[in-house]
Amino acid sequence: MRSATLLALMALGGCSLAFVRGPTMDGPTPVADGCSTSRVWPITDLVLALWSVAGGLGAIVEAADPKSNTDNTAQALIGVIPTSIAFGVSSVIGFARVGSCHDAL
């Protein structure tokens, strides 16, 4: 159940890239027609980026524990780095688009 929930949340990643629209450029000034004013998707991406980092750090700490029989530090980093970067970049782009939309209003 935990894996299915995590996979479902991971599939939502990059929502800012898919669902957040910035203002359109019609001449020298941006037009706020149809652009996104809600920060829900950028915040979602930010939370998922931080959750990914926290999960990776937890796996690294567990692997460093001498009582632990697992050695999945490399696996944790391989999973954490690309997902954290993807969610983080999507969040930054989403916040920039929403900010541009607010400026154009």
Burial of 27 (0-12, 13-18, 19+ CB in 10 A): exposed
pTM of the model: 0.75
Q: Greater confidence, 7 or 26?
A: 26
C-alpha 12, offset from chain centre? 9
Q: What is the pLDDT, as a whole number, of residue 56? A: 80
Percent of the chain with pLDDT over 90: 28
Confidence of residue 24 (pLDDT cuts 50, 70, 90): confident
User: What is the residue-averaged pLDDT of the chain?
Assistant: 81
SS3 51: helix
Q: Greater confidence, 20 or 58?
A: 20
Q: What is the pLDDT of residues 75-96, one digit of tens each?
A: 767 778 888 888 999 999 999 9
Instruction: Give the number of residues written for the chain.
Output: 105
pLDDT above 60 (res 100): yes
